[in-house]
Amino acid sequence: MTSSTIHIRKAILLPLAFALLFILVFSISGAYWLQRHQFDRNIHQQLSSVQQLFNTTLRNEAEHLNTFIDFVMDDPAIYQAFLAKDRQLLYANTKSIFRNIENRHHITHFYFHDLDRTCFLRVHKPSSHGDFIDRYTLKKAAEAKAVSFGIELGPFGTLTLRVVHPWVVNNKLIGYIELGREVEYIIPAMKEILGYDFFFLVNIRHLNRQMWEEGLKISGRQGRWEEIPRHVIIGRTMDFVPQDINNYINMPHAEKEKLIFKITEGDKKYRGGFSPLKVASGEDIGEIIAIKDFTDDVDKQQVSTILAIICMAVLGILFLLFYFHISRMEKRLIKTHDFLTEEIEIRKNVEKELQQHKASLEAIVSQRTAELTETNRRLQIEITERKYAEENLQEAHDKLEERVAERSEALEKTYNQLLHAEKLSAIGKLSASIAHEFNNPIFGIRNVLDGLRKRLTLDEKNRDLVNLAIKECDRVAKLTQDLQSFNRPTSGLMTLLDVHEAIQDMLLLVKKDFSQKKIRVKKYFAGDLPPIQAIPDQIKQVMLNMLNNAGASMPAEGGVITITTVKQVDRIAIHIADTGVGIEPEDMDRIFEPFFSTKPAVKGTGLGLSVSYGIIKRHGGRIEVESSPGKGTTFSILLPIVQQRAT
């Protein structure tokens, strides 16, 4: 057998070398990236906590100032001087307190305010008083009757933490006490906690340059207008401003809040970020810049990178030594390889014979398995088809029974509604006939009474009785006339219609029914409601349907129906509201359908709202409905003032 040539160095060592090289480069690069990422992440977390730290520091300082205010409020000599409005005595009692807290705690502002927010006394500047204070913290304390605090920008460009405490003596509010501490005394505490330097910047659009410069002279502070473009530095913990900060200051807020800037100033490497500077009212007036020297940390990263490169070089040298050692082992392995190759060839021949026998057996088993599978599949199909047929038959039977029941119920309901409609029609004709028969006697009685009033000399009591009898005769005549008009077929002609008169006529028809049901009617008629062009008897029919529906919805103890008319731009609105049972939400979409009714069959045809909807629509208007179950329903009829035509 011919000896084989085995190149272990090319087949194993070179791929292994490339793999190890890749792993090393990837590991070192990944470690470097992770280190940089964690470094930047830590900076980002620290910068994200700047705003929270600032707010927490302000809250702690406010509690500190509030402690001094509590001490002042509890001093009887102080509040007695304030109640007596003795400014000199009040100043004398508080002057030493202010000097003490000013020297020891850097409290720079001390006020007493009256209830009308007028400054009664500035202890830090007693010559200035009597002016109205319009600061947010004082307004908030006055409105909430509670302690209010926050930073506010003064007219001289000072940023001051102010705490305002309502002053209550014997459960009575007598005024307000205010203490203030400038932010420049608070910033060092933030630096001590977080380890960052801070610049507090205010945009120059919130300042008056002349007053700001005057404030510098008064306080003895140093500063330069627009030391940073468009900003003034109000407070700082760092003596100089790195020049490269100016490259970031004009960026939009949304970008700056997520930014970690990197600045190199000489041999120093700085990292930092921006946070918005907001006063107590929430107004954004500038920026808080947090910056820290990370030179040592950056240098450590560079040292780590150099060490990683050295490690790669050492590993390369070790790999070369291993490469030459493998070359000597390669020759011995060639002999062993040839022997093993011959042995493997023999075993392959035996394995080939075994595979042939195995394939023959597997073919027989596969054939039998396929036959059984096909038989089982056919049985399953037959069972499924039979089940499907049974389910379809049962479903068809159930649907047929449901349709028969629905049709029977619909026919019975339609028959009852038609029968009731016929009864109502007969009652309408009978009422019109009776009204006609009543009309002649009533006019005769009225004429006799009118003749007696004119021919006889009656005393005042009898004349009032005769006038009342004539008035009642007119009312009965009007009622019979309305019954005849309501039953008479519509003329279809549009005329000018007084809506209020139409409502009054229909209220007369339902007056007795409403009285029996304890239903009160409230009317709120618009004084400037113009007449509209409409078919009178159709509009009256709509009003009667609405009143009947409102009355039918009332509970047994009665209720109130409110009728309101409103003149709009080019139309009128009639609102009929009741305090009845209301309409269920699932019925709201069906109330205008013909023959739909929530009343028993003997009390309604289900046509009233459907007919009313059609009449109003033909008049160019619409009907709107609002209902709350258990509280009542409001129908709003909207009609144009001028109609073109209606059919």
Q: Nearest CA to 227 among 152, 287, 153, 292?
A: 287
**65: Cβ–Cβ under 8 A, 6 or more apart, which residues?**
107, 149, 161, 163, 179, 180, 181
Average pLDDT over residues 380-409: 81
Give the pLDDT confidence score for residue 37 in this predicted structure: 62
Give the pLDDT confidence score for residue 222 in this predicted structure: 77
Higher pLDDT, 430 or 248: 248
Tens-digit pLDDT profile for residues 128-159: 899 999 889 999 999 999 999 998 888 877 88
**Could you tell me the maximum CA-CA distance found in the chain, to the nearest angstrom?**
161
Give the pLDDT confidence score for residue 571 in this predicted structure: 92
Tens-digit pLDDT profile for residues 491-516: 568 889 999 998 998 898 888 889 99
| Residue at 280: amino acid letter | A
Is the torsion defined by CA of 43, 45, 48, 54 positive or negative? negative
**Phi, psi for residue 131 in degrees, rounded to 5:** -90, 155
Residue 464 vs residues 69, 173, 326, 445: alpha-carbon distances, Å = 82, 67, 141, 16
Give the pLDDT confidence score for residue 194 in this predicted structure: 77
Give the pLDDT confidence score for residue 50 in this predicted structure: 74
Question: Has residue 1 got a pLDDT over 60?
Answer: no
Average pLDDT over residues 587-606: 65
Which of 6-20, 33-47, 310-324, 569-583: highest mean pLDDT?
Answer: 569-583
What topology does CATH give the domain 51-293? Beta-Lactamase (3.30.450)
Which of 185-194, 230-239, 272-281, 529-538: highest mean pLDDT?
Answer: 529-538
Q: Nearest CA to 172 among 83, 237, 94?
A: 83
> Average pLDDT of the chain?
80
Percent of the chain with pLDDT over 90: 18
Element spanning 218, H or E: helix 209-219
Give the pLDDT confidence score for residue 338 in this predicted structure: 78
419 pLDDT band, cuts 50/70/90, is very low
Average pLDDT over residues 441-466: 77
Question: Has residue 41 got a pLDDT over 80?
Answer: no
Which DSSP symbol is given to 477?
Answer: H
What residues does each domain of the chain span?
51-293, 490-640
- 3 state SS of 154: coil
Question: Has residue 631 got a pLDDT over 70?
Answer: yes
C-alpha dihedral over 39, 41, 43, 44, to 10 degrees?
A: 160
Q: Which of 194-208, 220-234, 418-432, 521-535 has the lowest mean pLDDT?
A: 418-432
Bridge-partner residues for 547, per DSSP?
none
Question: Has residue 462 got a pLDDT over 60?
Answer: yes
The Cα–Cα gap between 460 and 465 comes to 9
Tens-digit pLDDT profile for residues 323-376: 777 777 777 777 777 788 888 888 888 888 888 888 888 888 888 888 888 888
**443: Cβ–Cβ under 8 A, 6 or more apart, which residues?**
473, 477
Which of 58-62, 66-70, 118-122, 487-491: highest mean pLDDT?
Answer: 118-122
433 pLDDT band, cuts 50/70/90, is low
| Residue at 218: amino acid letter | I
445 pLDDT band, cuts 50/70/90, is confident
What topology does CATH give the domain 490-640? Heat Shock Protein 90 (3.30.565)
Give the pLDDT confidence score for residue 602 in this predicted structure: 40
Is residue 127 exposed (0-12), middle (13-18) or buried (19+ Cβ within 10 Å)?
exposed
647 pLDDT band, cuts 50/70/90, is very low
Task: Using only the alpha carbons of the chain, give its radius of gyration.
Answer: 50
Give the pLDDT confidence score for residue 182 in this predicted structure: 85
3 pLDDT band, cuts 50/70/90, is very low
pTM of structure? 0.44
12 pLDDT band, cuts 50/70/90, is low
Question: Has residue 315 got a pLDDT over 80?
Answer: no
Give the pLDDT confidence score for residue 299 in this predicted structure: 65
Residues, the chain, total? 647
Question: Has residue 521 got a pLDDT over 90?
Answer: yes
Average pLDDT over residues 535-557: 88
Count of Cβ atoms closer than 10 Å to residue 213 Cβ:
14
Give the pLDDT confidence score for residue 412 in this predicted structure: 63
Give the pLDDT confidence score for residue 644 in this predicted structure: 46
Question: Has residue 645 got a pLDDT over 50?
Answer: no
Question: Has residue 24 got a pLDDT over 80?
Answer: no
Average pLDDT over residues 468-483: 70
Higher pLDDT, 168 or 403: 168
How does DSSP assign 404-467, residue by residue?
A: HHHHHHHHHHHHHHHHHHHHHHHHHHHHHHHHHHHHHHHHHHHHHHHHHHHHS---HHHHHHHH
